[in-house]
Amino acid sequence: MPIRTAKYAGFCMGVQRAVDEAMKASEQYGSIVTIGELVHNPQVIELLETKGVKAVDTAAEASGQTAVIRSHGVAPAVYEELETEGCVTLDLTCPFVRRQHEIVSRYSHDGKTVILAGQPDHPEVIGTIGWCRGRVYTVASAQEAEALPEMDEALLAAQTTFPPERWASILPVIQRKVKHLTVEDTICTATAQRQDEARKLAAEVDAMLVLGGKKSANTQKLYETCKAICPRILLIESADDIPADFADIHSEIIGITTGASTPDWLLKEVVTRMTDNEQMDQQVPVEETEENSFMADVEATLVKIRPGQTVTGTVVQMTDDEVCVNIGFKSDGLIKREDLVTEDVKMGDEIEVEVVKVNDGDGNVLLSQRNILKRKAFAKLVEKFDNDEYVEGVGKEVVKGGLICDVDGIRAFVPASQLSNRYVEKIGEFIGQTLTLKIIELDEQKRRIVASRKAVMKAEEAEKKTEAWASLEEGAVVKGIVRRLTDFGAFVDIGGVDGLIHVTDLSWSHVKHPSEIVHPDQEVEVKILNLDHERERIQLGLKQMQPKPWDVAPQKYPEGSVVVGKVVRITTFGAFVELEPGVDGLVHISQCATTRIDKVEDAVTVGDEINVKVLSIDPQAKRISLSIRALLEDEAPKPAQSAAQPEAVDEIVPVDIEAVGKQLEEDAQKEEAKEEAVAETETQEEADEKPKKKAPAKKAAKSDDTQEETEA
């Protein structure tokens, strides 16, 4: 191959973008002006003028027009001037230059010093100085750096096109001069790459052409670099500058490289001229070719891309925030660091990227690596959806009607109603939590996923239920947690299934409401009384875990013992005394006092805590006869008797003790029978008068199987 072109030739990303956008704007507005020449290339400038893109030097000259800020960028004052002049401003500052502006502006916000490695008269440096808020020094060489004063602290940054070897020679000098130096290498690697490639090419060829604007410092530097290696070299601005006898393409190898401001079509023109000079001259006038072929050439070089397309590109530029990738399109693509997945990406790496936007509005192609991962992740989710598999998601954001979860990098919506099998009061509590979800709706076209946690919970519950039912047995004792209370009982979770302790099974004594015995979240030990598999109902008992009070009453309250009780009810024939819940005894009216009383109330009142003596106990009949009188009599002091001087008696009458006792007993029985008959009559009268009120009392008495029923 007699002609070899450098790998990195043609416009750099920043210049390409500026030219493209300026052309578009000129088509849209009819004509536009650029603040300074868009590129350092007279041919391109000339051509742009024919397209309505005219360069001016000041904002005043742009007054009232659409003004383009070129890739070099400008100082903030220029934006203000353009606004004052009533211009519509189109900012095409190269992203790498804009980053440099941000760095110096941020560092110097409180007046700190900035040292810029660059040419003080270069438009980019002039613009960057405008973004510094404190003192600025510019140095173009190590000698100039030596002339700087000693400083306590400063930032060192560089013009994006500053030669890397010169930066390397300046850096140690400034490190010596500044005590606390912050270094930001803002050199654009496109320049260094271009020079490296040119150097390699110059070493391989017999003659060399450097194509670019003679005023461009960049191109000049390229020329000097190559000349040191290949002395037969020419700096040309167009194909017309090539002398006819420059080289013999039949016997010699010719290398061509270009500056960053040289368009592809100029390079092609030079190549064509070198290979087919005569034919070109005869067939097509040069002027016409340039004009007609400008857009055609640009178009011809385009790789067609569309959003969503996956392409392979080469990393050509890297900053802290972005990576620039050459994908063969007219503009290089930018990937934000957060959209980059490959770790340790390096210059020259080939990476697979997805086109997000062909034009992000600033003329950049937006790329993403993360989208490729997302696409793959989405495909996996589709598979899981088809197979009814669960996925893991992390709660990210509360939105109207639900929660957004991140499922393997994909957003999934979980409606509030699907967050739990219970009502969720605060959706925000799920943010940051990892949730197991079931995808219930998936739209591949819209890449929309709706997921449910409730479905997972329900399935788990059903599984637990099945397991729990299989392990349950009537009569078994199990542990459980009280979940909720109702008027008729307490629901208890016994390991995945809920059973009910009916209010009557909570205690051996009468319970009005379950809350008297248990409370929610209380751990209880219960007995399974009944399992109804068909209706899925489990009847539990808590009182069954305790012995029946009447079973142990004879041991606790033996005849003759004195116990404490509480008067809970008074009737005409006596007072009922509760010894413990479920165990009441009766103190008959005749046993209430040592003397005869008319009414039970003369001796005790409801609520009194009293000591009583157990006269008899019948656990089968659930009866305990109690006595206050017996206790008082036991405690009463015996009448004092003197053995020495017995009390004088008129007459000693022998008493048949047995007969008196019998008589007393008969009298007492008659009295009791009479009083009970009166009581029965009164009760009956009351019952007749208030049948409705009395009825539940009777029912309760029956169901409770109390001593009252027996006594009455």
Contact 707, 624 (CB under 8 A): yes
Q: At its nearest, how many Å lie between ligand F3S and the CB of residue 16?
A: 8
Task: Count other Cβ atoms within 10 Å, centred on residue 584.
Answer: 23
Q: How far is the CB of 118 from ligand F3S (least distance, A)?
A: 12
DSSP 177: H
When CB distances to ligand F3S are compared, the closest residue is: 14
What's the token pair of residue 108?
């110097």
CB 313 within 8 A of CB 372: no
C-alpha–C-alpha distance, residues 577 and 567, integer Å: 4
What is the strand order of the sheet 151-158 is part of? 136-139, 114-117, 151-158, 178-183
Q: Which of 361, 326, 317, 354 is nearest to 339 (CA)?
A: 354
- The contact pattern for ligand F3S, residues 92-131, with x = CB under 6 A and - = no contact, is --x-xx----------------------------------
Shortest Å distance, C-beta 178 to ligand F3S? 25
Residue nearer to ligand F3S on the CB measure, 161 or 257: 161
**Interface with ligand F3S includes 160 (CB under 6 A)?**
yes
Interacting stretch for ligand F3S, rule CB under 6 A, among 91-99, 225-233, 250-258, 455-463?
91-99
Q: How far is CA 386 from the centre of its chain?
A: 26
Residue among 301 and 421 whose Cβ is closer to ligand F3S: 301
**Distance in angstroms (rounded) separating the CA atoms of residues 264 and 6:** 12
Active site residue 144: no
Site string for ligand F3S, 43-72 (x = CB under 6 A): ----------------------------x-
Task: Looking at residues 279 to 338 of the shown chain, list those that interact with ligand F3S (rule: CB under 6 A).
Answer: none
Among 185-193, 275-283, 341-349, 411-419, the segment contacting ligand F3S (CB under 6 A): 185-193
The yes or no reply on residue 407 touching ligand F3S (CB under 6 A) is no
* Residue 125 vs 424, nearer CB to ligand F3S: 125
Nearest to 61 by CA among 40, 94, 93, 32: 32
Rule CB under 6 A: is residue 22 a binding residue for ligand F3S? no
Q: Which of 21, 81, 124, 354 is catalytic?
A: 124
| Phi, psi dihedral angles at 617 (to 5 degrees) | -140, 135
Report, in Å, the least distance between residue 222 CB and ligand F3S.
12
Please report, as a single letter, which amino acid is at residue 542: L
Stretch that binds ligand F3S, among 13-21, 519-527, 576-584, 682-690 (CB under 6 A): 13-21
The footprint of ligand F3S on this chain (CB under 6 A) covers a number of residues equal to: 14
Q: CA 132: distance to chain centroid?
A: 39
Among 191, 216, 368, 371, binds ligand F3S (CB under 6 A): 191
Binding range to ligand F3S, per CB under 6 A, among 31-39, 107-115, 184-192, 564-572: 184-192
Give the interface segment with ligand F3S, choosing from 12-20, 125-133, 538-546, 611-619 (CB under 6 A).
12-20
Q: Quick check: 188 binds ligand F3S (CB under 6 A)? A: yes
What residue ranges in 297-376 does DSSP mark as E strands?
310-318, 322-326, 333-336, 350-357, 365-368
Q: Using CB under 6 A, which of 6, 8, 9, 15 touches ligand F3S? A: 15
Nearer to ligand F3S, 193 or 625 (CB): 193
In our burial notation (b when 16+ CB lie closer than 10 A, e otherwise), range 57-67 reads eebeebbebbb
C-beta of 260 vs 586, nearer to ligand F3S: 260
DSSP letters for 206-247: SEEEEES-TT-HHHHHHHHHHHTT-SSEEEESSGGGS-TTS-
Q: How far is the CB of 191 from ligand F3S (least distance, A)?
A: 5
Q: How many CB atoms lie within 10 A of CB 594?
A: 14
Q: What is the dihedral of CA 40, 46, 51, 54, to 10 degrees?
A: 60
Q: Given the DSSP bridges, would you call strands 233-236 and 448-452 parallel, antiparallel or unpaired? A: unpaired
Residue closer to ligand F3S (CB basis): 160 or 625: 160
What residue ranges bind ligand F3S (CB under 6 A)? 12-15, 71, 94, 96-97, 160-161, 188, 190-191, 260
Question: Which residues belong to the active site?
Answer: 124
